[in-house]
């Protein structure tokens, strides 16, 4: 499923709070807001926060939200995991994300850093491109891909305005969820990105 989020307000919020974040030892990034938006949306759509055991014929819905974040390294993409994203404030998520990504790029991530994810987010925006179809990180049942945001003309109340739009792609296992559920889940993520105060 493909969608786009208008992140004009979110981008402005990040820019306004860069210095305040640095004063607290963190550099705010879009990815931390993505993680919080996904964690909140998973609370409403728990079948995306699950793993499927085809041999046993069981779907295991997780009661915790441990989000994998794809990190580009010299050894390829590696997916470390931030635990309990739904229970942590955004600044703590950003702090952990920065430390975990640095450890991963330096080849210092532990096995515990790389295990136990319930859903994965891959943000290729810094690398370029207009979109991608990410592959599900088995045994998870879904993954969110994010491409580079860009300014585009948008019609609002009959007037053309420039807005910052972020392309999103959601890949999911149709044995677990169908297209309508995928659309609703993606919309829940978009809604939160477009109303970023909910994520703070």
What residues are annotated to the active site? 174
Q: Is the peptide bond before 22 cis (omega within 30 degrees of 0)?
A: no
- Which is it for strands 142-146 and 119-123: parallel, antiparallel or unpaired? parallel
Sequence-distant (6+) residues with CB within 8 A of 67 are 35, 38, 39, 81, 82, 85, 117, 118, 119, 120, 121
| Structure tokens, 46 | 């728990």
Among 159, 160, 143, CA closest to 151: 160
Contact 121, 31 (CB under 8 A): yes
Among 90, 85, 125, 117, CA closest to 4: 125
Contact 185, 48 (CB under 8 A): yes
């Amino acid at each position: 499923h493909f969608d786009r989020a208008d992140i004009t307000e979110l981008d402005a919020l990040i820019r306004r709070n860069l210095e305040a974040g640095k004063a607290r030892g963190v550099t705010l990034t879009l990815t931390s807001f993505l993680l919080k938006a996904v964690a909140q949306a998973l609370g409403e759509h728990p079948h995306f926060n699950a793993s499927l055991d085809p041999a046993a014929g069981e779907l295991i819905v997780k009661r915790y939200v441990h989000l994998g974040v794809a990190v580009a390294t010299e050894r390829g993409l590696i997916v470390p995991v931030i635990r309990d994203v739904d229970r942590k404030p955004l600044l703590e998520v950003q702090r952990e994300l920065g430390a975990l990504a640095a450890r991963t790029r330096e080849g210092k991530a532990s096995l515990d850093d790389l295990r136990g994810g319930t859903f994965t987010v891959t943000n290729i925006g810094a690398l370029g491109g207009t979109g991608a179809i990410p592959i599900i990180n088995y045994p998870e049942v879904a993954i969110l891909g994010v491409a580079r945001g860009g300014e585009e003309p948008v019609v609002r109340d009959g007037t053309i305005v420039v807005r910052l739009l972020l392309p999103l792609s959601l890949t999911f296992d149709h044995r677990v969820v169908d297209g309508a559920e995928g659309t609703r889940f993606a919309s829940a993520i978009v809604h939160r990105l477009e109303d970023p105060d909910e994520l703070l």
